[in-house]
Amino acid sequence: MTSVRSVTVSSGLSIDRVSGLINEARQVPSPNCDDRPEDAAIDLVVVHSISLPPAEFGGPWIDALFTNTLDPQLHPYFREIHRMRVSSHLLIRRDGELVQYVPLHRRAWHAGASCFAGRERCNDFSIGIELEGTDEDPYEVAQYQRLAAVIAVLEKVYPEVTRDRLAGHSDIAPGRKTDPGSAFEWARLEHELERIA
Report which DSSP code applies to 19: T
- Specify the pLDDT at position 93: 98
Per CATH, domain 6-196 is 3.40.50.300: no
* Buried/exposed code over 74-96 (b: 16+ C-beta within 10 A; e: otherwise): ebeebeeebeeebbbbbbbbbee
pLDDT in tens, the chain (197 residues): 445 677 776 678 999 999 999 999 999 999 999 999 999 999 999 999 999 999 999 999 999 999 999 999 999 999 999 999 999 999 999 999 999 999 999 999 999 999 999 999 999 999 999 999 999 999 999 999 999 999 999 999 999 999 999 999 999 999 999 999 999 999 999 999 999 87
Amino acid at position 120, single letter = E
Position 35, amino acid: D
| Sign of CA pseudo-dihedral 37, 41, 46, 51 | positive
Give dist(CA 100, CA 105) in Å, integer: 12
64: enclosing H helix or E strand: helix 61-66
CA–CA dist 121, 58 (Å, integer): 31
Confirm whether 132 is a catalytic residue. Answer: no
- Which residue intervals of 76-140 are DSSP H helices? 76-81
Which one of 24, 38, 130, 155 is the catalytic residue?
A: 130
Distance of CA 176 to the CA centre of its chain: 18
